[in-house]
Structure 1
Amino acid sequence: MPAHSAAARRLDPLSVLGELLITLGVIVGLFAVYEVWWTNVEAKQEQQAAEDRLRQQWSDENPRPLTGPQDGSAIARLYIPSFGSDFSFAVVEGVTQADLARGPGHYPDTAQAGEPGNFALAGHRVGRGAPFNDLGLLHSCDAIVVETAGSWNVYRVLPIDTPARQAGQVAAGCLPQPAAGAATSGAYADVNGRSITNPQDVEVVNPVPGQPRSAAQPGDLPLLTLTTCHPQFSNKERMIVHAVLARHDLKSPGYIPPELTGGA
C-alpha cells in the first residue's frame, strides 16, 4: 500500500472525531462514577464522623446542648419515616459545599428546630450521600422528625397539589388546631407542601416563606423547610418542601416518638 494512503487513513477527520468522542465518553463516565459513587463513599465517612460527634455531645457522660454551633458541627438528627426506618442523618450547621458533604446543612440565621420561624435545611439530591434524593416522593401530612439534644420535633408536610379551598381540611387530618387553619390561611395561604422554584428565590427560607423579611416574629408558626436541586443531575431549579410543627416532645428515658416506631 502506498505510504500516502496510510497517512491519509490515519488523518481521516471522521476517525479522529470518533476517537475524540470515545475519549470524551470515557472522561464523562469517570466523572459520573466519581459524582454518584465515590462522593457517596466519602459522604458516608463524613456523615458517620458527624454522627459520632453528635452522639458524644449528647451522651449522658457529657451532656452539652448546642448554643451558637460552629459551621460544620452536628446540631440535630433528621428522620423521614416514609423513606424507611434506616433514614437518619446528622444535620450540620452551614450550607457550604464542605458542610453539605457531611450531610444535610442548616441555613445559618434561620430558626432552630421547634422554634417559631423556619428551621431550613439544604441537602444534595445526587452524590455526596444524596440525603434529599427522594423529596419528590413525600405526600401531604408525611411526618418529618428532628431530634435535638433535648427534644423530639415532629413536623407534618403541608398539603401538596391541593386546591386552596381544601388545604385546611387536609392539614386538619394531621395537625392540631389552630395550627392547621393558621398554616393554610393568611400569610401562609401560598405556602405549599412542595414546590419548584429558581435558585434566586431565597425567600423560601424566610420565617414566613415568600414574605420579604428575615426576622422571626412571636406569632410565626414553627416551620421546617427542605431544599434541594431540581431536576436530578441539574442545579437549574430548586425543589422546596415545607412542613409545620405538629408536636414538640421533651426527651425522656426510653421515649421514642410513635412516628419512628410505626405507630403513627
Structure 2
Amino acid sequence: MRVVVQGGGRRGRRAGLARVLWAGAELAVTVGVVVLLLVVHQVWWTNRQALAAAREEVRALEREWALPPAPSPPDAGDSGDPGPAAGPAPSESPSPPSPIPESGAAPRTPAPPARESAYGVLRIPRLGVVVPVAQGVDKRAVLDKGYAGHYPGTAQPGAQGNFALAGHRNTHGEPFRYINRLRAGDELIVDVRGQRYTYVVGRTLAQTSERDTGVIAPVPRSTVRPEFGYDEPGAYITLTTCTPEYTSTYRLVVWGTLKR
C-alpha cells in the first residue's frame, strides 16, 4: 500500500526561506556593526589620537624653543680645552617681527622649513585652538595628524604676501571645525622660534569652490566670487577648510592681516 504525505514540500520550502532570511538578517546586522565601528573610529578615535599627538607636538616645539642654542663644536686643530663656560642664555623676550617697509620689501623671516615637518604653532584665542603648523598640505603626512598645513609656495609667517593654511574641519583633530565663528577683529597668533606674529581677522568667505586658488594668492581674492577678497599688497593669513561639515564639497575661508 502506498502512502502519500501531502504538504511536506511546502514546509520544506518555508523552512529553507526562513533560513535564508535569518542568514540575511545576521549578515545585515554584522555589516551594520562593522560600519558603526568604522564610523566611531573615523569620527571619534582619530580625533582623540590626532588631538593628543598635536598637543604633544606643540609641547615639544615649545620645549625646543626654550633651549639655548647648542655650542659650536671645537675646530679640528683645537687642543681640546673647552675654555670658559658659556654664560646663560639672555632672558630678554623675543623681538617683535619687523614691520613691512613702505617699499614693499619683505622683512627678514625664517628660512622655509623641511617639508611636512612642524615648525610653528597657530593659536586662535577665540576658539581655544592651539595647533602645530607643518610645511605642506599632504593629507596623510600633515592634515591627518591634526596639524594646520602650510600651502607650498605661499608666504612664510610675517612676510609680505599670503601665509595660507589648511586644516581639517571634521575628524583627525578637526582644528578648523569652528573657524566659521571667527569675526572681524579676532586674533590669529603664529609662533615660530623666537618670533610671534599676530594677525587680525578681517574678512570671511562662507563657501567657494575647492578649485578657487585665488583665495591663497599673494593678494587674496576669490576667483569664483570676486567680490570677496583684497585689492592691495600686504601681509595676509588665510585659513581654509571644508564645508559643509562632514563633506568636502566646498571650501570655507577666513582672511586676516598682520598687526603692525
* Farther-moved stretch of structure 1 (67-76 vs 199-208): 67-76
SS in 1 for 2:218: coil
CA drift of 1:76 comes to 1.3
Are the counterparts in 1 of residues 165 and 240 from structure 2 also a CA contact under 8 Å?
A: yes
- Structure 1 residue 10 corresponds to structure 2 residue 10: no
Q: Is the 8 A contact 2:126 2:187 kept in 1?
A: yes
Q: Please report the TM-score for the alignment, with normalisation by the length of structure 1.
A: 0.69
Contact 2:143 2:149 in 1 (8 A): yes
Does 2:40 align with 1:33? yes
The C-alpha deviation readout for 1:194-224, integer Å capped at 9, x for no partner, is 3311111122111011378xxxxxx721000
Task: Report the counterpart of residue 116 of structure 1 in structure 2.
Answer: 160
* Number of residue-to-residue matches in the alignment: 203
Q: Is 2:106 aligned against 1:99?
A: no
Cα RMSD (Å) of the superposition? 2.4
- 1:156 counterpart = 2:200: yes
Residue deviations 1:152-178 (CA, integer Å, cap 9, x gap)? 2111111xxxxxxxxxxxxxxxxxxxx
Report the secondary structure of 1:193's partner residue: strand
Q: Describe how 1:74-93 pairs up with structure 2 within 5 A.
A: 74-84=118-128, 87-93=129-135
Residue 180 of structure 2 corresponds to which residue in structure 1? 136
Can you give the 5+ residue segments of structure 1 that lack an aligned partner in the other structure?
Answer: 159-191, 213-218, 248-264
Q: Is contact 1:66-1:75 (8 Å) kept?
A: no
The one-letter code sitting in structure 2 at the alignment partner of 1:220 is P
Q: For 2:219 and 2:206, how far apart are their aligned partners in 1?
A: 15
Which residue is equivalent to 1:223?
A: 236
- Maintained 8 Å contact 2:55/2:131: no
Which of 210, 217, 222 lines up with 2:221 in the alignment? Answer: 210
Do 2:112 and 2:156's aligned partners in 1 also have CA atoms closer than 8 Å?
Answer: no
Bigger radius of gyration among the two: 2
Deviation at 1:17, TM superposition (A): 6.1
- Stretches of structure 2 that go unaligned for 5 or more consecutive residues are 1-7, 71-108, 224-231
Runs of 4+ in 1 over 4 A off after TM superposition: 15-21
Equivalent residue, structure 2, for 1:241:
254
Q: Provide the C-alpha distance between the structure 2 equivalents of 1:109 and 1:54, rounded to a whole number of angstroms.
A: 23
Amino acid at match of 1:135: I
Matched to 2:178, the amino acid is D
Q: Secondary structure at the match of 1:34?
A: helix
Please say if residues 56 and 62 of structure 1, whose CA atoms lie closer than 8 Å, have aligned partners that are also in contact.
no
Task: Look up the equivalent residue of 2:48 and give its one-letter code.
Answer: V
In structure 2, which of residues 207, 222, 226 is the aligned counterpart of residue 196 of structure 1? 207
Contact in 1 for aligned 2:213/2:222 (Cα 8 Å): no
Residues 231/80 of structure 1: CA separation in 2 closer, same or farther (3 Å cut)? same
Per-residue deviation, 1:51: 2.3
SS in 1 for 2:42: helix
Q: Distance in 2 between matches of 1:17 and 1:201?
A: 47
| Paired residue secondary structure (2:142) | helix
CA–CA distance in structure 1, aligned partners of residues 252 and 244 of structure 2: 8
Q: Secondary structure at the match of 2:159?
A: coil
Taking the aligned partners of 2:17 and 2:28, their CA distance within structure 1 comes to 20
More helix by proportion, 1 or 2?
1
Question: The residue matched to 2:255 in structure 1 has which SS?
Answer: strand
Counterpart of 2:74 in structure 1 is: none
Change (3 A) 1:81 1:211: closer
